[in-house]
Chain A
Amino acid sequence: METGPFASLAQIRILLIPVGPIRRSAFEKYAGLVRSFGHIRLGDIPPDPREDKNRFIPSPLSSGHLHLSYITHPPPTWHNVFSLFRMSSFPLGFKATLVSLFPPDSPFPFASKCFAFEEGEGNVNLDLGPSIPELVYVGTLLAELCHDILAEFPALVSPTLVLSVNTDQWTKKGQVRTVESAEGMEAIMSRLLPAVSSTTFPSSSNSTNGLSRGGTGVGSHSGASTPQRFGITNAKKRASSVGPSNGRLSKIIGDLCLLAGKLGEANIWYTEAISLFRTQQDSIWNASALEGQCIIEVLEAWSAGDSLHTSLVGNALGDPWANISDKMGQAINLYSRATPTTPTPVPAADAEAASIVLLYTDAVLRYSRFLFSIWSSKGWNPLSISMMLTTGVPTTFLPTDHISMTLSQAHGPFLMHLQQPDQIRIFSTLASLYSCIGFKRKEALVLREVQAAIMDLIVCGRDEHRSNLGRESLSNESKIYLFDRDRDKDRDTGQSVSGALGVRETEDVEGNISIVRLAKCIAEVYGVDIACIRVMDVASEAPTTQGSHPIGPLEPTDMLTGRPHFGWPELQIGVVRETVAVAEALPDHASVVQFSLSTLKTLHKFLTANEQYHLYSVALRGISTLRRRGVNLRAEFWAEAPIVSIEVLPLPLPRLPSEHLRQHLEGHHSKRPSITLPGSPFLYHPAGKKAATSQECCALNFALYQLFILFCGVQVLVQNESIEFVVALRNPYMFDFDIQYLILSTSGIPFHTQPVSVVIPANSQHTLTLTGLALEPGTLIIRGCQLQLAGGIPREFLFPIVDGNRTSLEVSTMPKRNANSSPPQFSHYEVVPQQPLLRIRRSSLTMGALVLYDGEISKIHLTIENISTLPVDFYRLAFDDSTIGPAQQGLADGNLSVAEVYETEYDLVHRPCFQWDPPSQVVPIEPGNKTIITVSCFGKLGCTQGTIQLSYAHVDRPSGPSGIFHTRRITYPLNVTVYHTLECDNLDIIPFKTYANLPHLDTAAFADDRDRSALLGIDNADDYCLVSMDVSNLFGSPFQVSIERHQEDTPPASNTCLILPGSTRRFLLPIKRFTLSSEEVSKAIPTLSNRQFVVAKDRLTPKEELVQRDLFWYREKLFQTISGRWIEPETGRTGTLSLRGQRLSLPMRDALRKDLFPLDLIFQNTPRSLNLACSLVPPTLGEHALLEGSLTHNYVGSLNPTQSAQKSWRVCFMAEGVFEFRIDAVEVGEDGRPPPDREKQMTSSFVTAIVG
């Protein structure tokens, strides 16, 4: 009993089955042709002259229609119980599309009235291809068929009709007669049934295609169903014992009239039946009669067509269908209250209950369908048209929840009474109606039942089939399919029972596919995208999937955003779990894989660890099963993007190449490395080193290097050297995640790397180091990673840079739009050509510690080995030590005076701690060779750390067109200890004359003044001055110190002395006085570095500045003249003694400077007069001398070069003693004042008089 349209009760069913070998397409074509006749006008039915047959044949002029419906499967046998009750459910006609002599057969009671349609010419015509005339002809044939059917109706009714007349008052006999008449029918059947049995039929059913399978099934079941039918007839007999059965008879006649299109007559019979039932409490028959009345009403409305509104205008106040609703509601109510009449344990009662439930649900569905058709056509249509013509509001608004409420009546525990096929039919009808009114969630709920019911059948059928297998081997029965309507799912067990051989049938996967589709549909309603992971054939799809996910990591970020989850997680999980179970039971392994993996992807947040693991293992199992069966299906990458970051490990500093311009090569022979001061605008300067301790220096360098990478986004790598990548992986799942294959995905230059497989522990992050080799120089682009899971398709995950930042998962959520608009940017790495590699094989230092005395000069030898395959044809050294930093800092602060600045710079430039003289011809260090580099060191107080940097390169490449080359660097840190040994102090310069005129303490040794001068090699005392200084030994061992003089016109002289620990010695050395020209003296104090100019803080007056410069230049000249050296006699270590800590004062300068105009000052005894100005120094109290003449302002006049002048004073000594006179000659201007533009020149001369 198909759930047909609302008016199915009024339709004559005609079963269309092919007979004989007919192609399916041909059958469907002609079946379609026949189906196009839904109605036949009563006028077209040929009249029948026979009296006993024409009771239901319409009169030729009657209006109205016969309604036909066509089915291709006979109804299930357990519906036979309705044969009397609901004739419309059974095919009353057979229509075969090929001429054949097949015995008119039917398993149904009324099938005896069936007409085996045989028409030779007509079918020949059909085979030739129908045209319009044939269409008409088919109509005629159908009409004849209908006529034949109708002609059989009286034969069915007449015994009962006669009976009804007779049994009005004699109920018991009537019953007997009814049974008798039923037995009469049985007799008719028994005449026909043998023809239908399975033994006669198989030849045609097996040869035809699947459409005829229903015939076999029915045939084989007919025997089994017979007792059932007897049971129900018995039940009916008992039910009818309550009252006379003429109500039922009226109803049957009404049914027949309805089928015959005699609506008026049917209505009369129904009304009569209802009035009889009212007293008899025969609820089911009553309800059925009510249903019949409703259908009559609808049919009348249908035939009235457009003129309907005129008939309904009268009751437009209420719903036009109120009458039908009332009756249907009544009918439903009656059905629902019906109870089985037999006690429950009897199996017949179950069948009866099933029948009642079937009728009940059918009525509910019929009513729902009625409401639904009103709703879906937006009201009672002709009426709404009439409403448009008149004023007023249409009253025909039908809310969908009304339909839903009605529908839900058909759903309940009572459904369990039904046979599964009926359940499925009702569930699917429910689902489709819910779906039509847009109640998706209800639809999903019902669909789950459909799915479960189907699966139940499959599983049970399979079990039964399996148990049958054993039985059949003995009994050789033909196999029985429990259900084989339009869903023959159990075929995919892949086994056949025909014979002892296991024959593998061609798998018909259509059923499986529809069940899987059902599952997907359900999951979709619950908001689970169960098919988001595609499972595909590798061979066909793999090449296309390579590039199909360009923005890999951006995709799963939806999961990370704060978007609320949609749906009911618990339900979703339940649905998914069921779906996976369904797919497993089918079994559809591909779907199992797809569903479980999709669930893991979308719902893993809500799954417990066990469920996650279960799904994962189910998927793995499915994949392995598929592979075992030779199906090469693979799942898409399903996990949430597991890669968190990809970072390149920066090269270690000794391997890091730095870029230089080739043109710098020309200047690299300069002796001294240039000093880079902190003011340098270049942040990263490979040649000049920052001042710091060597560790700090490395750390700082590294930090700078990272900064550099960050700013520029370009990292330098080297060809043919292993590059390390750190890949951070994340496993959000609660099981260990097995990545079978992980490889870096790069573009640009060829890159060689090995795939790895890794297992990420549950719910954790994992860091992985990958290595690779860049095979060519150029730009290496790291796009991301390719990952492959077990049984999956490899997928590339890209890591673009967003706004200059490296994309991590967190960052990439916001700029999704940007990423879509422009092609993604990836990390670029510059790979430079292969570089040589040197290492320090050994050095002359132990433990890298250098111990020096202050001022000591020593040498370090470094042995360098080339451990690469390229020669090193360029190298140079740069140095750093801990004194440079503070000095540069002091310079940068700018608080120093100009002279101090000079002193600091001199220290930096001329007295570096480390120094290397590059050889004039660099000999390339061939691969595997060694070379020795010698660095000279200078002990500088305060130096604690030093660094030697060796930069080297392979410059002379065959292919080097670009103007750049790369160097690498070895850094060799040194710990430096400098001991403070000698200290120089108390520099003084006095005129030699003073010294020469002193009285000799030992007159015996120095009889003559000349002797002392001669000893010192001084010819003219006026030309010399005497430099004296103290040198103290602060160290624990003796030092032999010598102070040396190097002057152009004098022989070298030195003063050497051994200074014992703790002692101080004074050194005296005569120096020939010299004069610097005024141009030399007035030069500005030079700066030695290319330091940025710093405005001096202290402003000097021009005069002060002149004095400063004068002192500066004389001091410089002095230090050029004398130098100090020392030697430690015990060890032979030598060094220099720095004098530069000494200051030069103005009197010292005067003593040093050669007189511009020498004064010759002598006393003459006769006459005792003195030349020039004379002052008594010091004028001591109590000692007096009389001086004749003016003491000051003795103007001599202008003197030309080589000219001399004389001036004399007279002195009279008034007391005894030693008198010392000093005469100052001062240069004056024209007006007797000193020249303003430069310092006045002054010469002093002393004379001592001893008055006895």
Chain B
Amino acid sequence: MTTTPHAAHGFVDEPGAGTSDKPATTPAGGRRTRRDKLLVLLATPAVLWYAVFTIGPLGAVFYIALLDWEGLLSPSTFVGLDNFTKILHDPVFWTAAKNSLIQIGVVIPVMIPLAFMLGYYLTLEPRGHHLLRVILFTPALVSLSAKAMVFLAVFAPSGALNGLLDLLHLDSLTRPWLANEATALPSVIAVDLWSGIGFTAILFSARLSSISREVYEAARIDGAGHWRRMWRIAFPMTEDYFGVLAMLQFLWVLFSSAGSVLLLTGGGPGNASTTLSFLIYDKAFTQSEVGYSQATGVLLFFVGVVGMAGIRSLFRQRY
């Protein structure tokens, strides 16, 4: 996954810088309005750019979802909610929905707590933690396609994983991991976890390092071990951040699995590893059902909103 290094970084910097430093109001008298006009002018290009290339297309999804549209270059007709009826009667959609649910249901509960614990471990500054940090950061540098090439070679029938199992005399466990109905989706999930835990752990450790040592010290004197300090002290103090990272990860997995599925399994075998995100891609660009694809996008949007609300209520949110 490489947790959108982008979004995540922004949140890291927020706690320190975001809240307190509103500019001190120093009225500059009559020149103020003229000066503010120039400021508006300076901000306009960026706002327009963002509106035209991000917000605009996003809004268009909701309209395209109502069209019958066979391929991007052919004409379209307005069909209202027909696409949605079609989707809800399509077994492929339900397979994809089930796969997405499994993917999220495994990735989030495994990744976020493990990353939190690893982040806590890093803040203790154990021996070798500098090296460990560098290693944990590496998956964030590797592109999706390079990562996919590596794992194609790892999971291939005559790849590294089967080779290793062979060496360990566990031949009975070898299989074509990506081409096997039972292991295709788990393999995709494993790649998500492989690349996601480390980076998320670094984000957690940055946040956890803001807890003062005295707090832990007091708990230690009271006889609390690391496990209790971690979950009874560090966790409640950073619960909001826990929620933010869970939410970002949730959105990332829900929407952005298309790329890794496309490169690793192509959604197969059959539809065994087709996720909703991949279905949106596949319908639009290989099956020429643009309306269907975007209607799925709309459904995904609502799933995203509901999921976010769920995560928010699970972890008390302060922002």
To the question of whether A and B form a pair in one complex, the answer is no
Interface residues in chain A, defined as those with a beta carbon under 8 Å from any beta carbon in chain B = none
Interface residues in chain B, defined as those with a beta carbon under 8 Å from any beta carbon in chain A = none
